[in-house]
Amino acid sequence: TTEPDISKQHYAECLAKALSFVETPVTIGVYAPWGSGKNLILQKIEGTRQEDIKEMDASQESPRTVNKLGFLHLLFRLLFFSPIITRKQLNRKRLRFIFVPFNAWEFAGSDRLWAGMVTTLCAHVRNSFRPLPTSIYRALGKTKVPIIENSVKEWKPVKYLCVPAWIATIIIAVLAIILIIVIVVLGFPSDFGGDIISTLEGIGASIVGLSTIVIIKNVGMVAYNFAMTQKSQVEKLMDNNDFSTQLGFMQMVRKEVQLITNFVRYMEVFERCKLRLVLKIQNLDRCPHEKITSVLEAMNILLSDNESRFISLLAVDPTVVINSFERASRKNGYEIMNRTVDLPFSLPEMSDNVKLNFLKDLLRKAEREEKEIVDKSKLIHEERESSQLKRGAGQLVHDAFCILKRSETEMVRNIEQSRITMRRIINTVPIIIRLLFSKYGLLPNSLTPEKIVAWTVLSTQWPCRLSWVLQCEEDIKERMRNKSNDSDGNRFLWDTYTESLEELRVLMNEIDELFKLDGDPEVFEKHLNRDYRFTTTDGEILHPVTVNLDRSIQRRMELLRGKYNITNYQLYADSGKQEPLSSLRLEKVLKNNKQLSAYKQSIMDEDITGKVLIYSTESEIQKVLNMRLADWALFRAHFLLGHRLSDPMKCSRIEQRSKIIKENVMKFPKEINPDSFVMCPNIKTISETTSV
């Protein structure tokens, strides 16, 4: 039986739900290999959020808009009032998302890729709220919107000389009208000698004149900002060839970003909702390495303000981005990526069914002839089922959160003392539960909310060790499949980890930097071995929905295990028996190899086993055994090359000495048949080493 697949729509819906409760500013990394549909996920997320807004409860407070009369209302508020963020505003549930698409590939040919992201953001915000309100806000130099939770009123009038600005404007307008009427009726005075009317005309003209100057100044500033947009100002600075070296340039960009943040906070109070600016960064993994790092540096500018409303959706191939980090800084790319991204969302590989559906969608769009016929009664039935699933998933999410609130559980003790880690676990648990419901319709019998939380903690705090265990399980399953045997579903993952620990220690030099991402190894043992005993079946169910686990780590483990194939050693060419090198006792081999019997005593005295061969260098082994060259070549080919030949540095040394080995093969006694030994999976005889 084939397991049900999770569609792209389900992944998009779960991630769209996450946008509603994540704390801003935040960077969400949508991880998947190039060409696997990351941009499609972003499109579906935008569509899902728009549908959720339409389905909101009608009993909530109606929002304001900038259309028709709302536009005039906004202008009135901008000119005469300042907003206050009250407790009422903080408790509002309504959300409005403004999606800002940024295609990095469009700017890849210039030196202004990261600045292009800032200008795109400025232009999109200007278009979303209309140019005139944005220009007025910039011209009047509005200050940061304060937070006063105990305030009753959300708007505070702007005052001039303790008089509200809108009242002062009415008074000045009335005075101007009266002055015009007086001048029209009585005319300009010919002399000013004690004439009361002349005095009043002079005072009125002075007041109106000063007000007119202020109005003209503000109108001029609004007109200037209307013509010179934020985007044009940044582009003007970019035209300078040395713009990147100017200290004032970065400060100017920060001010523009801060202005956007303040304006969005202003509009939140006006629209009676919470606004989120979602920056969709696409095709970044297609750009040169230096461009990738510059864009991520620009993202740090956006996220530098803790009160900003930015959500960055970074859709990339993590392998490409990590390589860019390592080339630019020569530091651990995984560690830098882990600090940059707050919520990783890793998409699994496509199954055959998903690929088939993807192809059908492409064909349907290309042909534009086939139309989908939907049975209304069936659609209603499916919608009811979907609603029931959502209610069940919501209850399990509540139960899972209750588990995290219990101080007496081992779960809380195992979680790291890091706020970022806690946020990731809380954000990921609902996604995994909803994906399981989308896939199975309910939780499998072996899983509980507590176990799902425990798995989330495991994948968040120890991604490398968990990836290693999962890769070892996949290899075991593949070997069982080749032998037409069924794998043991009740096998514990901790047993797999302990059995592969010797191999992991050998390969640790190659992946030591990866394990800097993991937490305390003692807590890992406690969590996986004693507190929560996950089985192979649990891993097979949870692995596809573990979106916070970067699958490029497991891919690296897979390539490394294939490169250093030391898991199984075939003792003889004509034997099907295989045995791990780490558990090999050399006396078993020496019994059937008379040509090495002279060294048997040395091997027994030094207690040389398979583990000793793994952790010792070749020079140390040769020094202890004191073998002649021909015997050493045979010994080395049989026991040492199998797990070291794939190392490029060692291969070069082997090639340099291959001629010596070949010449000394002729010195072997006639009874020795070099073909009776297997050197490594790719080399059958010693004489073939010259072709490596």
The one-character DSSP state at 685 is S
Determine the pLDDT at residue 185.
73
Structure tokens at 537: 């079946």
Q: Give CA–CA dist 499/640, Å, rounded.
A: 21
**Enclosing H/E stretch for 508:** helix 508-511
Contact 660, 608 (CB under 8 A): no
Spatial CA neighbour of 16 closest among 268, 395, 276? 276
For residue 242, pLDDT over 50 is answered with yes
For residue 583, pLDDT over 60 is answered with no
pLDDT digits (tens, 9 = 90+) for 485-507: 555 668 899 999 998 887 888 78
Determine the pLDDT at residue 656.
41
Determine the pLDDT at residue 368.
55
Structure tokens at 528: 């996986």
For residue 590, pLDDT over 60 is answered with no
The one-character DSSP state at 284 is G
Q: What is the mean pLDDT of residues 137-149?
A: 80
Structure tokens at 531: 């507190």
The greatest distance separating any two alpha carbons of the chain, rounded to the nearest whole angstrom, comes to 139
Q: Which residue has the tokens 């523009």?
A: 256
Burial (CB count within 10 angstroms: exposed 0-12, middle 13-18, buried 19+), residue 528? buried
The one-character DSSP state at 139 is H
Q: Give CA–CA dist 569/306, Å, rounded.
A: 56
Above pLDDT 90, what percent of the chain?
10
Q: Give CA–CA dist 119/233, Å, rounded.
A: 9
For residue 388, pLDDT over 70 is answered with no
Higher pLDDT, 118 or 589: 118
Side chain identity at 75, as an amino acid letter? L
DSSP letters spanning 203-266: HHHHHHHHHHHHHHHHHHHHHHHHHS-HHHHHHHHHTSTTGGG-HHHHHHHHHHHHHHHHHHHH
Q: Is the peptide bond before 444 cis (omega within 30 degrees of 0)?
A: no
Contact 534, 492 (CB under 8 A): yes
Determine the pLDDT at residue 205.
59
Determine the pLDDT at residue 204.
59
Q: Which residue has the tokens 């007086």?
A: 182
pLDDT digits (tens, 9 = 90+) for 149-182: 888 888 888 887 777 878 877 877 777 777 677 6
Structure tokens at 486: 């069924």
- CB neighbourhood size of 401 (10 A): 14
Determine the pLDDT at residue 497.
92
Three-state DSSP class for 3?
coil
Determine the pLDDT at residue 538.
92
Beta bridge partners of 157: 81
Question: Which residues have a Cβ under 8 Å from the Cβ of 293 and sit 6 or more positions away?
Answer: 324, 325, 328
pLDDT digits (tens, 9 = 90+) for 528-568: 998 999 999 999 999 999 999 999 898 888 888 876 654 44
Side chain identity at 450, as an amino acid letter? E
pLDDT digits (tens, 9 = 90+) for 38-76: 888 888 888 777 666 555 545 466 778 877 788 888 888
Q: What is the mean pLDDT of residues 12-34?
A: 87
pLDDT digits (tens, 9 = 90+) for 621-648: 778 878 877 777 777 766 665 444 333 3
Determine the pLDDT at residue 541.
92
Q: Give CA–CA dist 258/353, Å, rounded.
A: 47
Higher pLDDT, 589 or 457: 457
By mean pLDDT, which of 414-423, 605-614, 619-628, 641-650 is the weakest?
A: 641-650
Q: Give CA–CA dist 209/212, Å, rounded.
A: 5
Cα separation values, 678 from 225, 569, 662, Å: 78, 9, 16
For residue 188, pLDDT over 80 is answered with no
Q: What is the mean pLDDT of residues 344-362?
A: 71
